Amino acid sequence: MSQTYDRGTVEDFGRWREFRAGMWAWIFHKFTGWVLVGYLFTHIAVLSTATASDPTVYTNTLQGLEELLIVRILEVGLLAVAVFHILNGVRLLFVDLGMGLENQDKSFYASLVVTAAIVVASVPTFLAGV
């Protein structure tokens, strides 16, 4: 009993293959949440600089951004992140109300599938005319 061995934090993410549905939902929710916060700040930064002077600057900035393929792809990613965060948020709402706790894993898979469907369906719109 003289000493104890602390295995450190390596074990947590080193074990990602053994995570269950609820754990993945939690990780994705955190991740998408941070991405949305990050987006919000860039969004405000870009818009506030673009709208500072006359309207042509705004139009030019946005057109310039929309011309880039990478921006279009990032937009699809943003949609995916937002849709998942919303759907999982609804799932968590039900969990907080104590409804359907036995089906929490199924509702997580459902939100993943719906997110994927919406994102795939949106790709033509986002990538049109690049």
Partner 1 sequence: MSTQIEKEKSEEAAEESEAETEAGPQERRMSEKRARTEARERRRQQREQVRETEETVTLKVFRYDPEVEGKEEPRFDEFLVPFHKGMTVLDALIYARDHYDSSLTFRHSCRQAVCGSDALFVNGQQRLGCKTQLADLDDPVRVEPLPHQDVVKDLVVDMEHFYEQMHAVEPYFQPDDLPDGELEEQRQSPENRERIKMSTRCIWCGACMSSCNIAAGDNQYLGPAAINMAYRFAMDEREGENRKEARMRIVEQEHGVWRCQTQFSCTEVCPKDIPLTEHIQELKREAVKSNLKFW
Judged by the rule CB under 8 A, the positions of this chain that interact with partner 1 are 1-7, 11-12, 15, 17-18, 20-23, 25-26, 92, 95-98, 101-102, 104-105
In angstroms, the CA 130 to CA 118 distance is: 21
Q: Which is nearer to partner 1, 54 or 102 (CB)?
A: 102
- DSSP letters, 43-91, are HHHHHHHHTSS-HHHHHHHHHHHHH-HHHHHHHHHHHHHHHHHHHHHHH
Q: Which is nearer to partner 1, 3 or 63 (CB)?
A: 3
**Residue 41 beta carbon to partner 1: minimum distance, rounded to whole angstroms:** 24
We find the least distance from the C-beta atom of residue 123 to partner 1, in angstroms, to be 32
Inter-residue contact 84 to 115 (CB < 8 Å): yes
Which pair of structure tokens corresponds to residue 118?
Answer: 């919406």
Of the pair 54, 96, the CB lying nearest partner 1 is at: 96
Please report how close the Cβ of residue 27 comes to partner 1 at its closest, in angstroms. Answer: 9
Q: Rounded to the nearest whole angstrom, what is the least distance from the CB of residue 109 to partner 1 in the complex?
A: 13
CB atoms within 10 A of CB 106: 12
Task: Return the number of the residue (72 or 88) whose C-beta is nearest partner 1.
Answer: 88
Terminus-to-terminus CA distance in the chain, angstroms?
67
